[in-house]
């Protein structure tokens, strides 16, 4: 039961990290050296939902992405992160029901084991989607950072904290899936107990054997008189 508690805690941390990663706007942050030389003390950061700037006075200005000018990769990453978030939340609830300490389905251990396996599949898919999303966005940020066509831009973005959080969340989701598959819970008694063979006390069951009877060779009836 302690292992299942660890599994639930790790899955909850993976879900929490996926939530913050999805809605955090620091997927890409401005490079300090590049932006300070042109704009002075201005810090810019961008995410999946909006692009913000912080001025020297401490004020923030955020502009939401319009659907008309939104790049296609942002839409795809949004969809994958929302699906991963939904699967992680569902996986947490299923793990909570399938745990050994849960009173739901307490008389059906096979159903609990199947629920833990289903939760592992959900976390596995969520981890794959999260990893694919942050890796895709990281590749775009790195490509733009080293591109010769963006060196004259006023703001050059680099990897933000949300991307690192996404990598950690995907790793936790994979770990939760492994724990769910390896420790689904106790087996029912009829699955792991061998069939009992009753043997009366004082008797020994022996394997049947064949009895060979040797027939003596026939002798001449007159030989004994010779």
222 within some domain: no
Domain assignment of residue 31, yes or no: yes
155-191 confidence digits (pLDDT tens): 778 888 999 999 999 999 999 999 888 877 666 664 5
**pLDDT, average across residues 86-110:** 82
Q: How many CA atoms lie within 13 A of 78 on its CB side?
A: 13
**Residue 149 within a domain:** yes
- Beta-bridged to residue 46, according to DSSP, are 28, 51
CATH code where residue 112 lies: 1.20.140.150
What percentage of the chain carries pLDDT values higher than 70?
A: 69
Report if residue 94 sits inside a domain: yes
Confidence (pLDDT) at 101:
73
Q: What's this model's pTM, rounded to 2 decimal places? A: 0.74
**Burial readout 112-121 (b: 16 or more C-beta within 10 A, e: otherwise):** bbbbbbbbbe
Model pLDDT for residues 28-40, shown as the tens digit of each residue: 988 765 544 445 5
Residue 146 resides in a domain: yes
Domain assignment present for residue 110? The answer is yes
Q: Please state the domain count of the chain.
A: 1
Q: Which domain holds residue 181?
A: 2-186
65 and 49 Cβ atoms separated by less than 8 Å: yes
Structure-model confidence comparison of residues 99 and 205, the more confident one = 99
Q: Is residue 205 part of a domain?
A: no
Would you state the structure tokens that stand for residue 77, as one six-digit string?
Answer: 């990453």
User: Within a domain: residue 217?
Assistant: no
Instruction: Please give the C-alpha separations between residue 175 and each of 11, 201, 203, 214, in angstroms, as whole numbers.
Output: 8, 51, 54, 72
Nearest to 131 by CA among 84, 167, 172: 167
User: Which residue carries 């008309």 as its tokens?
Assistant: 68
């Amino acid at each position: 039961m302690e292992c299942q508690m660890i599994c639930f805690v790790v899955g909850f941390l993976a879900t929490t990290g996926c939530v913050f990663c999805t809605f955090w706007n620091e997927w890409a942050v401005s490079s300090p050296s590049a932006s300070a030389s042109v704009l002075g003390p201005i810090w810019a950061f961008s995410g999946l939902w909006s692009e913000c700037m912080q001025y020297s006075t401490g004020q923030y200005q955020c502009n939401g992405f319009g659907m008309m000018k939104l790049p296609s990769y942002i839409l795809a990453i949004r969809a994958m992160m929302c699906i991963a978030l939904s699967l992680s939340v569902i996986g947490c609830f299923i793990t909570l029901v399938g745990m050994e300490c849960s009173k739901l389905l307490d008389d059906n251990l096979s159903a609990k084991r199947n629920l833990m396996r289903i939760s592992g599949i959900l976390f596995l898919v969520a981890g794959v989607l999260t990893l694919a999303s942050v890796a895709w966005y990281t590749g775009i940020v790195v490509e733009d950072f080293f591109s010769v066509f963006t060196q004259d831009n006023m703001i050059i973005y680099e990897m933000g904290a949300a991307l690192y959080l996404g990598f950690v969340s995907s790793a936790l989701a994979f770990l939760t899936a492994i724990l769910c598959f390896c420790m689904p819970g106790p087996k029912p008694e009829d699955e792991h107990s061998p069939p009992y063979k009753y043997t009366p006390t004082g008797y020994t069951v022996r394997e049947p054997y064949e009895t060979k009877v040797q027939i003596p060779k026939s002798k001449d009836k007159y030989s004994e008189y010779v």
